[in-house]
Amino acid sequence: MTEALPARSRLVAERLAEEGIDAQIVVLPDAASTAALAASALGVDVGAIANSLVFVGDEKPLLVMTSGAHRVDTVALAERLGMERIRRATPEEVRSATGQPIGGVAPTGHPAPVRTVVDEALAAHPVLWAAGGTPHTVFPLTFGELVGLTGGAVVRVD
Protein backbone atom coordinates (compact mmCIF):
# COMPACT_ATOMS: atom_id res chain seq x y z
CA MET A 1 0.00 0.00 0.00
CA THR A 2 3.04 2.27 -0.13
CA GLU A 3 1.81 3.66 -3.47
CA ALA A 4 -1.20 5.23 -1.73
CA LEU A 5 1.01 7.21 0.65
CA PRO A 6 2.03 10.83 0.10
CA ALA A 7 5.41 11.17 -1.66
CA ARG A 8 7.25 12.20 1.53
CA SER A 9 5.81 9.22 3.39
CA ARG A 10 6.84 6.85 0.58
CA LEU A 11 10.44 8.01 1.07
CA VAL A 12 10.13 7.29 4.79
CA ALA A 13 8.63 3.84 4.08
CA GLU A 14 11.49 3.03 1.68
CA ARG A 15 14.09 4.03 4.27
CA LEU A 16 12.37 1.93 6.96
CA ALA A 17 12.38 -1.08 4.63
CA GLU A 18 16.07 -0.53 3.83
CA GLU A 19 16.81 -0.60 7.57
CA GLY A 20 14.77 -3.78 8.05
CA ILE A 21 12.12 -2.07 10.14
CA ASP A 22 8.75 -3.67 9.52
CA ALA A 23 6.53 -0.69 10.25
CA GLN A 24 3.29 0.19 8.53
CA ILE A 25 2.80 3.91 7.97
CA VAL A 26 -0.66 4.89 9.16
CA VAL A 27 -2.58 7.72 7.49
CA LEU A 28 -4.64 9.61 10.04
CA PRO A 29 -7.89 11.32 9.04
CA ASP A 30 -6.88 14.53 10.82
CA ALA A 31 -3.48 16.18 11.10
CA ALA A 32 -1.49 15.13 14.15
CA SER A 33 1.01 17.97 14.01
CA THR A 34 1.61 18.01 17.77
CA ALA A 35 2.46 15.22 20.20
CA ALA A 36 -0.83 15.76 22.04
CA LEU A 37 -2.86 15.46 18.82
CA ALA A 38 -0.95 12.36 17.73
CA ALA A 39 -1.36 10.70 21.14
CA SER A 40 -5.09 11.44 21.12
CA ALA A 41 -5.55 10.12 17.58
CA LEU A 42 -3.63 6.92 18.40
CA GLY A 43 -5.01 6.40 21.91
CA VAL A 44 -1.52 6.28 23.46
CA ASP A 45 0.32 8.13 26.20
CA VAL A 46 1.82 11.41 24.98
CA GLY A 47 5.20 10.22 26.28
CA ALA A 48 5.19 7.45 23.63
CA ILE A 49 5.17 10.01 20.82
CA ALA A 50 8.67 10.40 19.38
CA ASN A 51 8.32 14.08 18.60
CA SER A 52 10.69 15.28 15.84
CA LEU A 53 11.92 18.78 16.54
CA VAL A 54 14.44 20.52 14.33
CA PHE A 55 16.90 22.97 15.85
CA VAL A 56 20.03 24.70 14.64
CA GLY A 57 23.08 23.95 16.76
CA ASP A 58 26.23 25.90 16.02
CA GLU A 59 24.69 26.79 12.63
CA LYS A 60 23.99 23.18 11.59
CA PRO A 61 20.65 21.31 11.62
CA LEU A 62 20.00 19.18 14.69
CA LEU A 63 17.07 16.77 14.87
CA VAL A 64 15.90 16.12 18.41
CA MET A 65 13.67 13.07 18.83
CA THR A 66 12.02 13.88 22.13
CA SER A 67 9.28 12.33 24.18
CA GLY A 68 6.02 14.13 23.56
CA ALA A 69 5.86 14.62 27.33
CA HIS A 70 9.06 16.73 27.36
CA ARG A 71 10.17 20.18 26.39
CA VAL A 72 13.70 20.52 25.09
CA ASP A 73 15.99 22.61 27.31
CA THR A 74 18.19 24.10 24.61
CA VAL A 75 20.72 25.56 27.05
CA ALA A 76 21.22 22.24 28.88
CA LEU A 77 21.23 20.26 25.61
CA ALA A 78 23.85 22.57 24.07
CA GLU A 79 26.02 22.02 27.12
CA ARG A 80 25.56 18.23 26.96
CA LEU A 81 26.48 18.22 23.26
CA GLY A 82 29.39 20.63 23.59
CA MET A 83 27.71 23.27 21.44
CA GLU A 84 27.78 27.02 21.88
CA ARG A 85 24.09 27.57 21.12
CA ILE A 86 20.97 25.71 20.01
CA ARG A 87 17.94 27.54 18.65
CA ARG A 88 14.67 26.48 17.04
CA ALA A 89 14.87 26.15 13.27
CA THR A 90 12.63 28.31 11.11
CA PRO A 91 10.04 26.55 8.95
CA GLU A 92 12.30 27.15 5.95
CA GLU A 93 15.29 25.63 7.76
CA VAL A 94 13.20 22.61 8.76
CA ARG A 95 12.09 22.02 5.17
CA SER A 96 15.62 22.55 3.84
CA ALA A 97 17.18 20.09 6.32
CA THR A 98 14.50 17.39 6.20
CA GLY A 99 12.45 17.92 3.05
CA GLN A 100 9.42 17.65 5.34
CA PRO A 101 7.02 20.16 6.89
CA ILE A 102 6.88 21.13 10.55
CA GLY A 103 4.39 18.82 12.25
CA GLY A 104 5.29 15.92 9.99
CA VAL A 105 9.06 15.56 10.28
CA ALA A 106 10.02 11.90 10.33
CA PRO A 107 13.19 10.55 11.90
CA THR A 108 14.35 9.49 8.43
CA GLY A 109 13.77 10.12 4.71
CA HIS A 110 15.73 13.38 4.62
CA PRO A 111 17.71 14.62 1.60
CA ALA A 112 20.97 14.25 3.58
CA PRO A 113 21.85 12.90 7.02
CA VAL A 114 20.91 15.21 9.91
CA ARG A 115 22.72 15.01 13.24
CA THR A 116 20.20 13.49 15.63
CA VAL A 117 19.78 13.07 19.35
CA VAL A 118 17.22 10.77 20.94
CA ASP A 119 15.59 11.57 24.27
CA GLU A 120 16.55 8.88 26.79
CA ALA A 121 13.01 9.04 28.23
CA LEU A 122 11.64 7.37 25.09
CA ALA A 123 13.26 4.11 26.24
CA ALA A 124 10.50 3.74 28.85
CA HIS A 125 7.91 2.96 26.16
CA PRO A 126 7.76 -0.45 24.43
CA VAL A 127 6.24 1.10 21.30
CA LEU A 128 6.89 4.62 20.04
CA TRP A 129 5.04 6.52 17.34
CA ALA A 130 6.86 8.90 15.00
CA ALA A 131 5.72 11.18 12.20
CA GLY A 132 5.83 9.67 8.74
CA GLY A 133 6.87 12.69 6.67
CA THR A 134 3.56 14.59 6.76
CA PRO A 135 1.27 15.84 9.56
CA HIS A 136 -1.21 13.08 8.61
CA THR A 137 1.14 10.08 8.74
CA VAL A 138 2.71 8.17 11.64
CA PHE A 139 4.39 4.81 12.21
CA PRO A 140 5.30 2.60 15.17
CA LEU A 141 8.80 1.50 16.13
CA THR A 142 10.82 0.54 19.18
CA PHE A 143 13.36 2.69 20.98
CA GLY A 144 16.18 0.49 19.66
CA GLU A 145 14.86 0.83 16.11
CA LEU A 146 14.66 4.62 16.49
CA VAL A 147 18.23 4.87 17.74
CA GLY A 148 19.49 2.54 14.99
CA LEU A 149 17.50 4.27 12.27
CA THR A 150 18.72 7.75 13.16
CA GLY A 151 22.20 6.89 14.41
CA GLY A 152 21.23 9.31 17.16
CA ALA A 153 23.05 9.86 20.41
CA VAL A 154 20.86 8.98 23.41
CA VAL A 155 20.80 11.96 25.79
CA ARG A 156 18.58 13.71 28.27
CA VAL A 157 16.90 16.62 26.48
CA ASP A 158 14.80 18.26 29.19
Mean pLDDT of successive 10-residue stretches along the chain, which has 158 residues: 83 96 92 88 95 96 96 97 97 97 95 97 97 95 98 96
Please report the pLDDT score of residue 32 as a whole number.
85
Are 42 and 138 spatial neighbours (Cβ–Cβ below 8 Å)?
yes
Which option is the CATH number for 2-155: 3.90.960.10, 3.90.1170.50, 1.20.970.10, 3.40.30.10?
3.90.960.10
Please report the pLDDT score of residue 116 as a whole number.
98
Backbone region of residue 51 per phi and psi (left: phi > 0; alpha: psi in -120 to 50; beta: other values): beta
Please report the pLDDT score of residue 29 as a whole number.
87
Q: pTM surpassing 0.85?
A: yes
DSSP 111: S
Task: Measure Cα distances from 19 to 22, 94, 115, 142, 147 in Å.
Answer: 9, 24, 18, 13, 12
Please report the pLDDT score of residue 88 as a whole number.
97
Please report the pLDDT score of residue 1 as a whole number.
53
